[in-house]
Amino acid sequence: MGTMQTVNKDSNDFGEIRREGYVYVDKTAWFHRLASAKGEKMFFLARPRRFGKSLMISTLEAMFQGKRALFEGLAIMDTDWDWKKKYPVIHLNMGMCAAEDYDRFSANLPECMKHGLAGAGCKYNAKLTPEVNFGNAIDALAKRGTPPVILIDEYDDPVAKALKNVEVAERVRSSLAPIYGQMKDRSGKIRFLMITGVSKFTKLSIFSTLSSLVDISFEDDYAAMLGYTEDELDRYFTEHMEAHRKVMKLSAKAYRAEIKRRYNGYRFWRFTGENVYNPVSINLTMANRPPQFELYWAETGKASFLMNFLKRGDVLAIDIDEPGSVVKAELDVSDLSSFPVKGMLYQTGYLTIDKYENGLFTLRVPDEEVRQDLAALMSGLVADKDVRWAASIGVTLCLAQWDKFFDGLAALYAGAVYGSTEGRPHELSYARCLKFLLQGQGFRVEQEVSHTGGRTDIVADHPCGTYIFELKVNKPPKVAMSQVQRKKYAEPYRASGKPVWAVGLSFNGKTRQFKSGVAESVKCKV
């Protein structure tokens, strides 16, 4: 048996990955299909952050530059790709010029353009604007007899980074318009164009002027082009998964079920296709092999424009377990001052497609990793103050430190920002806030759980125990506890072998604050 390949942690450079012998999940068959498509040569692809877009751009760049040696053993070597035909590549990484303020953006933009043109062998003329330099480069390269390939990565990053101030974002968008407009009347001089991003800002000139731009973000044929399929997991990571499974001390069946629950579930197809794993989560899991599953995608950062938007959003109106359905237009962005909430969560990777019927996309949270991160994000945003204590409140619950737990709830609800439409929040409003908190701490949470005795407000399950919450407004917690006991809400959980707790919570309807709580241990069946 040969030496196990090292899993790459951070690099998005195709050449580095291949030269250093890192694991490379071969996507070149898809890239060949794109580059060889009949009648189509301009494409747009939206995917969440850290999903392999930059690595795809780097791979396409190496393909068009004819770097055959890097592709030995990959699927493209079995195609008709002409390695002798080499193209100049203008690679614009728009993340290089992203900034929260306009002055910094405008200072970075020329450097971004200069770097991109240099890769195609073109000199940047500082006396001319970035857009004129871009247009002149396309003309000059085409005139030499070989039309350029244009690869624009993170095209939306400059606008997204500036969204904290909508006026600045609009200025950035206006400044980018003439750059993208340079391609409008030059499509015949371009061999291939690929644009990637997280969001589709529909009013950017890139969409209004390039009528031949093909959006493949929802095309079944390209649904698995980024991300890892089950077959790819088996093909490239079998040895790594086996090594990690032993660290985790799980059976093979339990390990695969858990890694799928944690990291698989992204769906980018409408009619036929396959769900994919989050690639950065798999890469870091296989490289680090921790004794537990980590929230790797969450730890790589947050989408800045989502954070800026949700600060002024009505987050308690979002039910992450049943986000509902949207039309395609709601998954795009037109007005920078008003975003569709579900569209933002979809584009940033917090929601994905569950099903598509009659023009409607039904959405859901992709997997457990994202669910925990989204719940933690929500539990922080619903409070109007520092809620760092929330990171340990799950521990106090597992240790049955009820005084600390109730103190934590009091702090949470003291800063809670209820929805603008909820003049008189009811039990569901309070329960949703608690659900965010518990899910963010790794609990499996069900709300409004129906059984023979009635409906339980919240059931939170964790390896350390099962917790049955009943919430009351303007009634003492003993009334909630009495209901749990009378209707035998704990009965279905008594045989689990884990500690079971019944918890009654009381809220003041006028002040909207948590008032008091009581908890009792439920005797388990032997």
Residue 168 CA to residue 426 CA, distance in Å, equals 39
- Going from N- to C-terminal start, the domains of the chain cover 26-222, 230-296, 304-368, 384-522
Pairing of strands 352-357, 444-451: unpaired
Strand partners, 360: 327, 357
Q: Per residue in 3-17, pLDDT tens?
A: 788 998 878 999 999
Q: Report the greatest alpha carbon distance in the chain.
A: 84
User: With 60 as the cut, is the pLDDT of residue 311 above it?
Assistant: no
Residue 453 CA to residue 15 CA, distance in Å, equals 62
Cα dist from 459 to 145, 250, 436, 446, whole Å:
68, 26, 13, 5
Q: How confident is the model at residue 454 (pLDDT cuts 50, 70, 90)?
A: confident
Residue 502 CA to residue 82 CA, distance in Å, equals 68
Strand partners, 404: none
Residue 500 CA to residue 490 CA, distance in Å, equals 8
pTM metric for this prediction: 0.83
H or E element, residue 495:
none
Residue 365 CA to residue 362 CA, distance in Å, equals 11
Mean pLDDT of 442-454: 81
Residue 139: what pLDDT? 97
User: With 50 as the cut, is the pLDDT of residue 420 above it?
Assistant: no
Phi and psi at residue 107, to the nearest 5°: -75, -30
Per the structure block, which two tokens stand in for 440?
């963010």
Residue 260 CA to residue 312 CA, distance in Å, equals 34
Percent of the chain with pLDDT over 90: 59
User: Under CATH, what is the fold of the domain 26-222?
Assistant: Rossmann fold (3.40.50)
Mean pLDDT of 208-236: 93
Residue 184: what pLDDT? 87
Pairing of strands 465-473, 276-277: unpaired
- The CATH architecture annotation of domain 384-522 reads 3-Layer(aba) Sandwich (3.40)
Strand partners, 194: 43, 151
- Pick the residue with more confidence: 435 or 51? 51
User: With 50 as the cut, is the pLDDT of residue 386 above it?
Assistant: no
Mean pLDDT of 386-412: 79
Count helices and strands (H / E) in the chain: 19, 15
Beta carbons within 8 Å of 111's beta carbon, 6+ residues apart: 96, 97
Phi and psi at residue 198, to the nearest 5°: -90, -40
Residue 249 CA to residue 236 CA, distance in Å, equals 21
- Pick the residue with more confidence: 385 or 72? 72
Mean pLDDT of 183-191: 92
Beta carbons within 8 Å of 436's beta carbon, 6+ residues apart: 320, 375, 376, 378, 379, 382
Residue 314: what pLDDT? 53
Q: How confident is the model at residue 142 (pLDDT cuts 50, 70, 90)?
A: very high
The count of C-alpha atoms lying within 13 angstroms of the C-alpha of 226, restricted to the half-sphere facing its C-beta, is 24
Residue 390: what pLDDT? 63
Strand partners, 505: 471, 517
Q: How confident is the model at residue 179 (pLDDT cuts 50, 70, 90)?
A: very high
Pairing of strands 214-215, 42-46: parallel
Q: How confident is the model at residue 165 (pLDDT cuts 50, 70, 90)?
A: confident
Percent of the chain with pLDDT over 70: 90
Q: What is the gyration radius of the CA atoms in the chain, in angstroms?
A: 26
Residue 4: what pLDDT? 82
If we measure between CA atoms, which residue out of 393, 403, 361, 377 comes closest to residue 313? 377
Residue 388: what pLDDT? 57
Per the structure block, which two tokens stand in for 74?
């990959």
Residue 122 CA to residue 233 CA, distance in Å, equals 41
